[in-house]
Structure 1
Amino acid sequence: MVGGFVLNRWHANRTDLGWRDYNDECGICHHGGRGQANETPPLFGRIDQIAQTPEGKRYVMHVLLNGLSGPINVHDQEFSWSMPNFRNLSDKKIARILTWVAQQGQTASPPHFTAEDIAAERSHHLSSEAVREERERLDRRQPLP
């Protein structure tokens, strides 16, 4: 019985457009959402928490639209790599990716991203360093996971 539930959830995740988009665009670097030590930070269990506030949600969208240059600290580990921007992706695709990743956390009501949310933030062209500074400001107010 449990095996059937797990198999159904596995199948549902792989037929979800958000999963497909994530896998195509993000999965290779973020290793299925779990990250890679000394290389890329984990996403699962973090994005849902960060995006609980309007400022955090805006920051997460800025990361995908503008990229992010390290160093950043996640779970007491420093990551110094640079993430490229994904501005070339459609607003719908970015919204699906962020919504799917947020759903992989432990938050009871994970944040939902819409194409309209992404379109509204697309006009804010920021450098990847400015996005890191945005992260630092958020982290000073309330430590980010």
Structure 2
Amino acid sequence: MKVTTTLIAAALACGASFAEAQAVQYAGGKTTFDGKCVVCHQAGGKGMDGLAPPLVEYPGKYAGTDEGRRHLGHTVLYGMFGPIKVKDKSYNFKMPSFASMSDAEIAEVLNYVVFDLNAQHGSAKPFDAEQIKALRASPVDGSAVHAQRESVVKSLGL
């Protein structure tokens, strides 16, 4: 009886893992996130107090506007530094540039963040490699990305 109970519990645990895996629309983006972003932004994009902000709400809202989409792409491409606030918490993080990643990889990781980590993403449409390629054509530095963020936050009333 004890063995049967253990087997049932194991099967249920595998089923939960399988269901969670099915919920991910952008598996390539998750793989990239887990390999490059999770060390600071933590599993599931929950963030790290004082260092890296959570990615489970604002990116979904940003992705619904052209300015917000530009900001998200520039953040991954060129990094960002300087103090920011997300809700009532402050972060002072120097996000590195990930410009060495391909346009497709950046689009996939942004799609993972916007659509898989954010329950609310409104009318946002997926990123594609062409959009990232266009952003590369007008490089900016991390301080400009920080200023861009302030504008996006203000325009969205966050």
TM-score normalised per structure 2: 0.81
Bigger proportion of residues as helix: 2
Alpha-carbon offset, residue 39 of structure 1 = 1.3
Gaps (5+ residues) in structure 2? Answer: 1-11
Match of 1:30 in 2: 41
- The whole-number CA distance in structure 1 between the counterparts of 2:25 and 2:156 is 34
Count of matched residue positions in the alignment of Structure 1 and Structure 2:
143
CA RMSD after TM alignment? 2.2
Question: Aligned partners of 1:133, 1:109: CA distance in 2, in Å?
Answer: 25
Residue 11 of structure 2 is aligned to residue 11 of structure 1: no
Structure 2 residue matching 1:49: 3-state secondary structure: helix
Report how far residue 4 of structure 1 moved: 7.2
- Structure 2 distance, partners of 1:97, 1:116, is 14
CA separation in 2, counterparts of 1:110 and 1:3?
33
Q: Which residue of 1 aligns with 2:107?
A: 95
Which has the higher mean CA deviation after the structures are superposed, 3-12 or 83-92? 3-12
Percent identity reads: 30
Residue equivalent to 1:119: 133
Query: CA separation in 2, counterparts of 1:101 and 1:125?
Result: 22
User: Highest Rg: 1 or 2?
Assistant: 2
Q: Is the 8 A contact 1:48 1:111 kept in 2?
A: no
Given the alignment of the two structures, is residue 20 of structure 1 paired with residue 31 of structure 2, yes or no? yes
State the one-letter code of the partner of 1:128: G
* Moved beyond 6 Å, runs of 4+: 2-5
Amino acid at match of 1:31: Q
